[in-house]
Structure 1
């Protein structure tokens, strides 16, 4: 099933019969990468996917208290949390329950970062997509006002927030770039350069789980402050140069955690976030936690296609391909 949330695609694949092994969802994530990564590549990469494709692989949950378990995938591997896919899965699970004659509006999704609570609010128009709201795992500010000497940009100040994944967060003006007037490609290149330097020189440690201890991406924002009710825009660079079309649910959670740590927002304050597509998520601090906050994020997802992918044995791209950096890459060494 292909869906999108705020323009960001998500391809849902039911892997219940695949035999992904592991007592925990993180063990299943590792097993998927070790034994079945060719299927991720086939679904995400060209010609069946594209460089900015995203996926959600459903597996049986490890605990009967969970309604479903998911492995998030992208063009270069596996995410630990994904807000836009969670919104899509919320609608998908809600509609699947309706097909089975059940009305279920609350679900618990087992994600690699931990359990995520989902609530569905049907629209008064039965033809409209429902609003899907999720409360993620504990989000927190790892560092505030950190800095790095970035070639071509000088000393750059940034924060690091966690919303199920770690992000470097900063307003684009700290890179000398006007968020609204700079060509998108320049924002993308600057974010990628920052991520590459931080990954090469810094460590990002989750307090409980080593598998969550890595920098997933960078978020460039239009301002260094969040204000209740005021629209904010951001650009999310993640994985290996993917650009999220949506506002990025895990990134929204991380931005809320950083803003809360700075005293900019309080529980209950609601803020609209927009990503590269211009469509919005609504984000709020649901409640404070010991080390940060529980973030609440809501949005709507839409169906695009129901399809069957065919993998022919003689297809040279049976497991996908990526565009080369140069044509010389095709030449023999």
Structure 2
């Protein structure tokens, strides 16, 4: 056997959406901010993302994370999130799964009943609170970066016809559209059509207007499309599927997407302060969100949201790359 690389990971999921955390084999990332480190990673070590997320080690919908030392005094870790397209600005399911992994494996000490873990993310500081019962994390709630409505009733044209979408930010920018307006339902059997329409919406919005965070130019562009429908569970308030990055399908209700949806609701009075919203995914799993407070981002009214869910460890892996492997850094087949 002759290997050119050895990478260790811990795999987990939150509400069904996977997270592959690189624990060994990644190089140090220079930079005074997480955005700087993300930029360096993309420019010099993007092969790591492709190796671990693409086939034959991953798949088109795999998601990843690389931990770094913190850049702010209050943070425990910095984190960079990886997608099939590149590098996201924040990830809610990732925070839930990552916090679970750090505490259940002892990478950070557990304290009952609540342990706080703080992250430097590309979008800003994220504070997570884990409910700890012995050696188990039974739930994670995190306070997200401020979320806001960016635009409303943006008229676009897709293959289903003309539709109007709202644009909201919850750590990343999303186009929000009703499934009924697209003539579809949020069901696992319709995922190929939902993926196609979600990407059409994303591209149509990006062609229609420039989307950029008012305080950080690097936080720009539509990350995903949230297609919403009435809930199926009597315990949920809404159902959605999020199509993000390059046609990836979120199995979870999408944490940052839930924040964006809450901000959009709050802007038009559909939800109030401290009112819970149970968000159901395409596979029936849930996150719970609520609006904690009002704030501003630049001149835009915004809200501070909290998203809660549960994560589970699914595996401990050592991945190798054979020197003569013809698949190289990986590939994707859809």
Normalised to the residue count of structure 2, the TM-score between the two structures is 0.89
Higher deviation after alignment, 179-188 or 300-309: 179-188
Match for residue 264 of structure 2 among 246, 258, 272:
258
Q: Does 1:222 align with 2:229?
A: yes
User: Are residues 230 and 43 of structure 1, via their aligned partners in 2, closer, same or farther at CA, if it must alter by over 3 Å?
Assistant: closer
Higher strand share: 2
* Residues in 2 aligned to 1:145 and 1:297: alpha-carbon distance in whole angstroms: 26
**1:137 paired to 2:145:** yes
Greater Cα shift, 246-255 or 285-294? 285-294
Deviation at 1:262, TM superposition (A): 0.8
Q: How far does residue 177 in structure 1 lie from its aligned partner after superposition?
A: 2.5
1:15 CA drift (Å): 6.1
SS in 1 for 2:322: coil
Q: 1:75 to 1:178 in 2, by over 3 A?
A: closer
- Residue in structure 2 matched with residue 330 of structure 1 by the alignment: none
Asked if the contact 1:80/1:164 (under 8 Å) is kept, the reply is yes
Long gaps (5+) in structure 2: 1-9
1:279, CA displacement in angstroms? Answer: 0.8
Gaps of 5+ in 1: 326-333
Q: Report the Cα distance in structure 2 between the residues aligned to 1:181 and 1:119, rounded to whole angstroms.
A: 31
Q: Is the 8 A contact 2:103 2:109 kept in 1?
A: no
The CA RMSD measured in Å over matched residues stands at 2.2
Partner residue of 2:5?
none
Pick closer, same or farther for the CA change 1:17–1:147 going to 2, 3 Å: closer
Contact preservation (8 Å) 1:15, 1:59: no
- Does the C-alpha gap of structure 1 residues 267 and 15 become closer, same or farther in structure 2, counting only changes over 3 Å? farther
Superposition map of 1:165-176 within 5 A: 165-176=172-183
Matches of 1:128 and 1:69, distance apart in 2 = 23
1:34 and 2:40 aligned: no
Where 1:310 maps in the other structure, the secondary structure is strand
Whether contact under 8 Å (2:168, 2:174) holds in the other structure is yes
| CA distance in 1 between partners of 2:316 and 2:324 (Å) | 25
